[in-house]
Amino acid sequence: MNDKAFEPKIIAFCCHYCAYASADLAGSMRLQYPSGVRIIRTPCTGRLEVEYYMRAFENGADGVLVAGCLEGGCHFIEGNLFAKKRVNAIRDILQESGIEKERLRMVNISAAMATTLATVINEMVNTIKELGPNPIRKTNNGTDVEFWESIPPGKEFEILNSQQ
Amino acid sequence: MIVAQRKKIPEIFDSIQDHKSVLVLGCGTCVTVCLAGGEREVSIISSALRIASRKAGKKIKVNEFTIERQCDNVFIEGATEEIKKNDAVLSLGCGAGVQAIAERYPETPVYAGLDTAFLGILESRGVWAEKCMQCGECVLSDFGGICPVTRCAKHMLNGPCGGSREDRCEIRADQPCAWQLIYKRLKNIDQVDKISKEHPIKDWSKSINGGSRTIIREDHRI
């Protein structure tokens, strides 16, 4: 893969009550952020099974962004705080497995913070551009594992749940 | 419950890397409750191993399966089909589970994915504490239900040692002095006189120090 043309593919798990709404607002505000970000709406970041992060990387995602409500502002009181701890635990496992932990990141964004969301996504894209493509994509005998292009809309959770 | 924790992924990967297919076998009893080797952990560790395997340029097929109890032949039989399909087993059971699988399948290499730590309880969410070291001769009745053998760093039966500071053990500030706990507990249940009872030297041959132990119940044997 030509690294100059490398456009990171990022899965962004966005909480319905905040980050997803801010992504919506970003759209209304015509804010620009890289198109390689696939947003998946979740009821709460605390709802996310940690396996989803692992599966996303296993399936070739270059980065995973978990966007929850501001601390103290979770619709379900403390789902985002649980998610933060889980993300940190999985970052360690990823590092041990050979995937840089910077590829998985959790941010807290409110529904009104569309500009912040765009900034965070840009930051994430820049971080991952520096890291390069997901290392297991590169070493998968030359075959590029295309993740979401093959996923029918609305089937993301099914794919992430399925065993390889 | 038996409490264990996950080994680091590089260590696990190192043990399985020469096999073409590996079954990550979870256990649905103690290690599920202590969040180390249940179905979810099987899924996470398998995922990590698949990533590590591809990163190393290998094509190890990592399969997942969880049985109710790895230390019981009746349940192990349920995994026979899955085990036969794979070259090796990575057991996420406790030390007893790993050995039970190894004994039951003499031809299949079995590796341990967990470090079995101790026999303990869940103190609060995410905190497990050791409560029993299986000394083979329980003294809890004399100490108000608090074990000095396990929870006193010096295993003292005639304590306290005098080294505690503000009810903390001298070995670590986060460790409560077992003897302080025993005294308070005996006082609460109006048995404080028990603390002055002298205990003879403990017979450690009944513990693991006397070699691995077997219990035979003739009334239950067939």
| Segment B152-156 mean pLDDT | 94
B121 touches chain A (CB under 8 A): no
Reference B153, options B137, B168, B171, B135; nearest CA is B171
Whether B48 sits inside 8 A of A135 (CB atoms) is no
Whether A49 sits inside 8 A of B40 (CB atoms) is yes
Whether A58 sits inside 8 A of B64 (CB atoms) is no
Question: Helix, strand, or coil here: B192?
Answer: helix
Whether A57 sits inside 8 A of B51 (CB atoms) is yes
**How high is the pLDDT of residue B103?**
96
Whether B55 sits inside 8 A of A49 (CB atoms) is no
Whether B44 sits inside 8 A of A93 (CB atoms) is yes
In a domain, A162, yes or no: no
User: Domain segments of chain B: what residues?
Assistant: 2-118, 134-210
Whether B47 sits inside 8 A of A136 (CB atoms) is no
More confidently predicted of A33 and A156? A33
| Segment B109-129 mean pLDDT | 96
In a domain, A155, yes or no: no
From chain B, pick out residues whose CB is under 8 angstroms from the CB of A164. Answer: 47, 50, 62
| Contact pairs from chain A to chain B, CB under 8 Å | 54
From chain A, pick out residues whose CB is under 8 angstroms from the CB of B40. Answer: 49-51
From chain B, pick out residues whose CB is under 8 angstroms from the CB of A50. Answer: 40, 44
In a domain, A83, yes or no: yes
From chain A, pick out residues whose CB is under 8 angstroms from the CB of B64. Answer: 163
Whether A135 sits inside 8 A of B55 (CB atoms) is yes
pLDDT tens figures, B32-63: 999 999 999 999 999 999 999 999 999 899 99
**Residues paired with residue A108 on neighbouring β-strands, in sequence order:** A68
B10 touches chain A (CB under 8 A): yes
Nearest chain B residue to A90, by CA: B44
**How high is the pLDDT of residue B179?**
96
**Cβ(A30)–Cβ(A72) under 8 Å?**
no
| Alpha carbons B203 and B136: distance in angstroms, whole number | 9
Q: Evaluate if residue B215 carries a pLDDT over 70.
A: yes
Reference A120, options A44, A16, A47, A26; nearest CA is A26
Helix pair angle (B9-16, A79-97), 10° resolution: 40
The parent domain of residue A84 ranges over 7-149
Residues 6+ positions from B124 with CB-CB distance below 8 Å: none
pLDDT tens figures, B59-100: 899 999 999 999 999 999 999 999 999 999 999 999 999 999
What is chain A's mean pLDDT, rounded?
Answer: 87
If one counts the domains in chain A, the total is 1
**Cβ(B101)–Cβ(B110) under 8 Å?**
yes
In a domain, A163, yes or no: no
Domain B2-118 has CATH 3.40.50.2300: yes
Cα–Cα distances (Å) from A75 to A17, A21, A72, A83, B63, in that order, read: 7, 13, 9, 13, 37
B33 touches chain A (CB under 8 A): no
| Alpha carbons A57 and A61: distance in angstroms, whole number | 5
Residues 6+ positions from B158 with CB-CB distance below 8 Å: B198, B199
Predicted-complex ipTM score = 0.88
Nearest chain B residue to A141, by CA: B57
From chain B, pick out residues whose CB is under 8 angstroms from the CB of A62. Answer: none
Chain B: give the shortest CA distance to residue A81, in Å: 14
Nearest to A50 among B44, B46, B56 (CB): B44
Which chain A residues touch B if contact means CB-CB below 8 Å?
A: 49-51, 54-55, 57-58, 90, 93-94, 96-99, 135-136, 139-140, 163-164
Of A102-106, A120-124, A138-142, B54-58, minimum mean pLDDT range: A138-142
From chain A, pick out residues whose CB is under 8 angstroms from the CB of B47. Answer: 51, 54-55, 58, 164
The alpha helices in B56-126, defined as continuous H runs, are 73-76, 80-85, 95-104
B204: exposed, middle or buried (Cβ count in 10 Å: 0-12, 13-18, 19+) = middle
**Cβ(A42)–Cβ(A158) under 8 Å?**
no
**How high is the pLDDT of residue B78?**
94
Residues 6+ positions from A18 with CB-CB distance below 8 Å: A67, A68, A69, A70, A73, A109, A110, A111
Question: Which CATH number characterizes residue A144's domain?
Answer: 3.40.50
**How high is the pLDDT of residue A156?**
63
From chain B, pick out residues whose CB is under 8 angstroms from the CB of A49. Answer: 40
What is chain B's mean pLDDT, rounded?
Answer: 95
Reference A19, options A116, A130, A129; nearest CA is A116
